């Protein structure tokens, strides 16, 4: 009998202890308002799959800063530009650490990279490498031919496919072409290699690389209830073998590529401009461990493969839904570029409306709508509320970009708003934060802006875009897939009609053409 009572008491204690902790936190701190949590699960029962939309809905009820209990862990979500500024600038130092789930801790080797490192000497050192050596204006400019070559290769592929009679009605699956550009671009910039040919065929190393990227996303997304309720973790242990095998495969591939570059450098005495060469030459200078070098290269793979293609797909969906905007952008391209040559990145300065189109797409559809999670390294106040040490803090960039108090008609796709008022999107203006801000702003911001603008410019200059036959522009599905990065739920299909002489497609191969 006594044993049964003890067991019953233990079960009750386990169930209600997290709730008592929540009540204790409420009494001790002035926490932001939010939906009432339940014992054990907190607010997990009410969180919808597309989290940033769910948090934005709650913000409409409770205000621009809310408490969300994911199990026993306090998450604070801010949804206004003023609070984003407080988090990312004014209180940035106290909130610059990174929350890592168990899976992320494994894949990042406890933050030995840049993206998942806590703020401290290691982060400052690696950030310096990125700023001065990897993403310097000089290196970005030196690698411009690679970006332009890959974008014009996309145009060639589109030219070849859009005249196929089958595609004249059902349209092209745009994601296929955007994904190829993003994959080839980031692998060539990072590793100095093109793993995919112009027909979309991938060699063995490329297949292994794509498999590793996909599997790492699977591992990082394989969160269980135990991630939010620590005392359940004994019931859901991590698959240590899976992580070990993944790390072994990743390191073997990366070291093989690094060795190829080292051998080539010793033969020629020259280091190329690719990121792998920059890291190998900076390794001793900055005392970087091999784990950090490998981690940085894979940070670039994860950040560059998805986000660029996501941004351009959303932008093209908006342009097809808004033919007026598409026409205005094409008129600017025709006026500045004409029909006898292709656009280059040096033309950006003379294409202000095209730049505004890119900005407007990133405002409405930031590729990482919740930003990566920050963590408080000490007790701090945000918006007059207490944020206890260890709390996870999210900036809902998607909600900030649609804030009625900041943007006029925020859901309308209207690039002209950025001609009327210049709004910086590199982390200085907290109304527009597709690349973050503060100590943790994306170091590859300019590279990302250049590639998105270039892809959009080529797509609009070379082709007129309309929905598939029988589909009205307003019928395009603009809902999102759940996830840390936000793809369109229904991949965009569209009909592409050439606007320029077909011979321009051969410029991507460097063939001289008499125009």
State whether 10 and 138 are in the same domain. Answer: no
Distance CA 396, CA 399 (A): 5
Listed residue (6, 352, 318, 369) closest to 174, CA to CA: 318
Q: What is the pLDDT of residue 509?
A: 47
Share of the chain above pLDDT 70, in %: 86
State whether 351 and 490 are in the same domain. Answer: yes
On whether residue 116 sits in a domain, the answer given is: yes
Strand order in the sheet with 493-498: 172-173, 493-498, 463-466
List, in order, residues 6 or more apart from 266 with CB less than 8 Å away. none
State whether 4 and 45 are in the same domain. Answer: no
The answer to whether the beta carbons of residues 78 and 396 sit under 8 Å apart is yes
Listed residue (507, 461, 514) closest to 145, CA to CA: 507
**189 pLDDT higher than 60:** yes
- Higher pLDDT: 242 or 200? It is 242
**22 pLDDT higher than 90:** no
State whether 154 and 15 are in the same domain. Answer: no
Query: Which has the minimum average pLDDT: 229-238, 445-454, 476-485?
Result: 229-238
DSSP single-letter state for residue 418: H
pLDDT in tens, 433-477: 999 999 999 999 999 999 999 999 999 999 999 999 889 999 999
State whether 425 and 460 are in the same domain. Answer: yes
On whether residue 515 sits in a domain, the answer given is: no
What is the CATH number for 404?
Answer: 1.10.630.10
On whether residue 309 sits in a domain, the answer given is: yes
Listed residue (74, 44, 155, 115) closest to 436, CA to CA: 115
State whether 418 and 463 are in the same domain. Answer: yes
Q: What is the pLDDT of residue 3?
A: 46
Specify the pairing of strand 385-387 against strand 380-382.
Answer: antiparallel
List, in order, residues 6 or more apart from 408 with CB less than 8 Å away. 417
**Which secondary structure element, helix H or strand E, spans residue 260, and what is its range?**
helix 240-268
b/e 19-56 (16+ beta carbons within 10 angstroms → b): beebeebeeebebbebbebeebbbbbeebeebbbbbbb
Q: What is the pLDDT of residue 202?
A: 77
List, in order, residues 6 or more apart from 239 with CB less than 8 Å away. none
Share of the chain above pLDDT 90, in %: 55
State whether 19 and 136 are in the same domain. Answer: no
Distance CA 202, CA 506 (A): 22
On whether residue 400 sits in a domain, the answer given is: yes
The answer to whether the beta carbons of residues 496 and 465 sit under 8 Å apart is yes
The number of folded domains in the chain is 2
State whether 322 and 242 are in the same domain. Answer: yes
On whether residue 124 sits in a domain, the answer given is: yes
State whether 7 and 41 are in the same domain. Answer: no
Listed residue (320, 319, 363, 310) closest to 175, CA to CA: 310
On whether residue 480 sits in a domain, the answer given is: yes
Q: What is the pLDDT of residue 10?
A: 52
Q: What is the pLDDT of residue 513?
A: 32
**35 pLDDT higher than 80:** yes
**69 pLDDT higher than 60:** yes
**Which secondary structure element, helix H or strand E, spans residue 296, and what is its range?**
helix 290-321
**102 pLDDT higher than 90:** no
Q: How many residues does the chain have?
A: 515
State whether 292 and 312 are in the same domain. Answer: yes
Average pLDDT on 287-302 reads: 89
**Partners of 381 in the β-ladder:** 386
Domain residue limits at 24: 1-29
**361 pLDDT higher than 80:** yes
Residue 46's SS3 state is helix
On whether residue 292 sits in a domain, the answer given is: yes
b/e 268-300 (16+ beta carbons within 10 angstroms → b): eeebbbbbbbbbbebbeeeebeeebbbbbbbbb
Burial class of residue 349 (count of CB atoms within 10 Å of its CB; 0-12, 13-18, 19+): exposed
What single string gives the DSSP state of each residue in 155-208? HHHHHHHHTSTTHHHH-EEHHHHHHHHHHHHHHHHHHS---B-TTS-B-HHHHH
State whether 76 and 154 are in the same domain. Answer: yes
On whether residue 225 sits in a domain, the answer given is: yes
State whether 15 and 74 are in the same domain. Answer: no
Average pLDDT on 134-159 reads: 90
Q: What is the pLDDT of residue 5?
A: 52
Listed residue (197, 199, 203) closest to 184, CA to CA: 197
Burial class of residue 304 (count of CB atoms within 10 Å of its CB; 0-12, 13-18, 19+): buried
Q: What's the helix, strand, coil split of the chain in %, to 5? A: 55, 10, 35
């Amino acid at each position: 009998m006594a044993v049964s009572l003890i067991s019953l008491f233990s079960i009750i204690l386990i169930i209600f202890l997290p709730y008592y902790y929540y009540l204790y936190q409420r009494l001790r701190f002035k926490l932001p308002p939010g939906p009432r949590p339940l014992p054990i699960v907190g607010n997990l029962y009410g969180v919808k799959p597309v989290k940033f939309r769910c948090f934005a809905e709650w913000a409409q009820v409770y205000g621009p800063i809310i408490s969300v209990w994911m199990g026993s862990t306090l998450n604070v979500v801010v949804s206004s530009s003023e609070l984003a500024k407080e988090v990312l600038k004014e209180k940035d130092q106290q909130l610059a650490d990174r929350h890592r789930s168990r899976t992320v801790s494994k894949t990042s080797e406890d933050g030995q990279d840049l993206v998942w490192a806590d703020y401290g000497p290691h982060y400052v050192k690696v950030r310096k490498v990125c700023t001065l050596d990897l993403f310097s204006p000089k290196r970005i400019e030196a690698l411009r031919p690679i970006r332009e070559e890959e974008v014009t290769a996309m145009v060639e592929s589109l030219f070849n496919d859009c005249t196929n009679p089958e595609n004249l009605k059902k349209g092209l699956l745009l994601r296929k072409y955007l994904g190829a550009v993003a994959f080839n671009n980031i692998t060539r910039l990072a590793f100095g290699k093109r793993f995919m040919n112009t027909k979309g065929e991938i060699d063995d190393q490329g297949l292994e690389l794509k498999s590793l990227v996909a599997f790492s996303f699977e591992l990082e997304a394989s969160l269980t209830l135990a991630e939010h309720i620590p005392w359940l973790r004994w019931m859901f242990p991590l698959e240590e073998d899976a992580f070990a095998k993944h790390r072994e495969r990743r390191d073997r591939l990366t070291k093989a590529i690094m060795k190829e570059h080292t051998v080539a450098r010793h033969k020629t005495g020259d280091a190329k401009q690719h990121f792998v060469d920059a890291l190998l030459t900076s390794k001793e200078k900055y005392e970087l461990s091999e784990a950090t070098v490998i981690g940085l290269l894979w940070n670039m793979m994860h950040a560059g493969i998805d986000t660029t293609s996501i941004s351009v797909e959303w932008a093209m969906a908006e342009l097809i839904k808004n033919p007026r905007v598409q026409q205005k952008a094409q008129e600017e391209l025709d006026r500045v570029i004409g029909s006898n040559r292709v656009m280059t990145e040096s033309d950006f300065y003379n294409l202000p409306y095209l730049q505004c189109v890119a900005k407007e797409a990133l405002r409405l559809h930031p590729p990482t709508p919740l930003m990566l999670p920050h963590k408080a390294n000490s007790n701090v106040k945000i918006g007059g509320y207490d944020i206890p040490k260890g709390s996870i803090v999210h900036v809902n960039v998607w909600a900030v970009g649609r804030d009625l108090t900041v943007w006029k008609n925020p859901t309308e796709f209207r690039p002209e708003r950025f001609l009327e008022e210049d709004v910086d999107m590199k982390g200085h203006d907290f109304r527009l934060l597709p690349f973050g801000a503060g100590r943790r702003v994306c170091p590859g911001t300019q590279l990302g802006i250049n590639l998105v603008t270039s892809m959009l410019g080529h797509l609009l200059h070379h082709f007129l875009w309309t929905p598939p036959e029988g589909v009205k522009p307003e019928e395009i599905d603009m809902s999102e897939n759940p996830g840390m990065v936000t793809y369109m739920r229904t991949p965009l299909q569209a009909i592409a009609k050439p606007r320029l002489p077909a011979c321009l497609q051969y410029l991507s191969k460097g063939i001289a053409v008499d125009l």
